[in-house]
Amino acid sequence: MSDCTGKDPIALQVLGDSMEPEFKDGNIIVIELDGVIENGSYVFAMHEEEYIFRQLVIEEDKHFLKPLNDKYPTLNISGLDAIHGVITQRAGKRRREHKSYV
């Protein structure tokens, strides 16, 4: 049984290149499940029954999940209820790849 609660951060590995150049394939991201959601935040969200990692964009009361790599489409979401966490840190193989987003 897991002792994780909404207050415990989780760490996941980035897979793919949709968030390059900021987040490279293999980077580790730390997600705060109860983090503060703001326009421009990097978020962990649910889209079409799959979890996805993107940048949140809010324009005129519309919500989007935007990849940083232009090869991928920007996705519409119904609202902030699709957001399940906020990325607060990135770690890579080298110390210079470590970054905080708080």
Q: Is pLDDT above 60 for 2?
A: no
**CA gap 87, 52 in Å, rounded:** 12
pLDDT digits (tens, 9 = 90+) for 28-45: 999 999 999 999 999 999
**CA gap 91, 84 in Å, rounded:** 20
| Residue 2 belongs to a domain | no
pTM for this model (two decimals):
0.89
CA distances from 7 to 4, 57, 80 (A): 8, 24, 18
| Residue 52 belongs to a domain | yes
| Residue 5 belongs to a domain | no
CATH number, domain containing residue 30: 2.10.109.10
Domains identified in the chain, total number? 1
Give the structural domain span for 35: 10-100
| Residue 86 belongs to a domain | yes
Identify the band that residue 102 occupies on the pLDDT scale cut at 50, 70 and 90.
confident
For the chain, give the DSSP string.
Answer: -----TTS-EEEE--SSTTTTTS-TT-EEEEETTPPP-TT-EEEEEETTEEEEEEEEEETTEEEEE-SSTTS--EEESSGGGEEEEEEEEE-SSGGG-EE--
Identify the band that residue 1 occupies on the pLDDT scale cut at 50, 70 and 90.
very low
Identify the band that residue 6 occupies on the pLDDT scale cut at 50, 70 and 90.
low
Q: Which amino acid is at 58?
A: I
